[in-house]
Amino acid sequence: MTQYDVDMFVAEVDQLVTQAGQAHGAERVELLARAASSAIDPLRRIELLMLVADAAGRAAHAAAGSARKGEGRPQGEPVTYEQIGIAAGLTRDVVYRQHVHGAALSWPPARRGVSTGRSAPSRPQGEAEPRSEVPT
């Protein structure tokens, strides 16, 4: 690959990142993903992929808010945290906490394939999980 080709890819990546900076939601995710795909430098690709992950979580958070309001739904019917959890692969409680108290939706570390270093259950066997007071 010639220096000209590399420079062309760098310019394209920079242009996509600039466009992503002005976009929101799924459009931002798409632009950042295209930039990451075009990046030649592995460190730049890592940076962009991390931005994709962050943008995707924030876009999912915004989509959950819209869904809760019934925006874009048949007859404007709002969805429950349980329905969002099913769509996102999360529990209702996690969706509620992340939506109400956070800025993004994300899978827990184990679901992402990340070891937390814990080998034992967090509560003694046989002990019931605490009941949640999460609205539906």
Calpha distance 58→52 (Å, rounded) = 10
Q: 91 near 53, Cβ under 8 Å?
A: no
For 69-93, the pLDDT digits (tens) are: 999 999 999 999 999 999 999 999 9
Structure confidence by residue, pLDDT tens digits, 18-34? 999 999 999 999 999 99
Q: CA separation (Å) from 68 to 27, 74, 76, 99, 123? A: 21, 13, 10, 10, 33
The pTM of this model reads 0.78
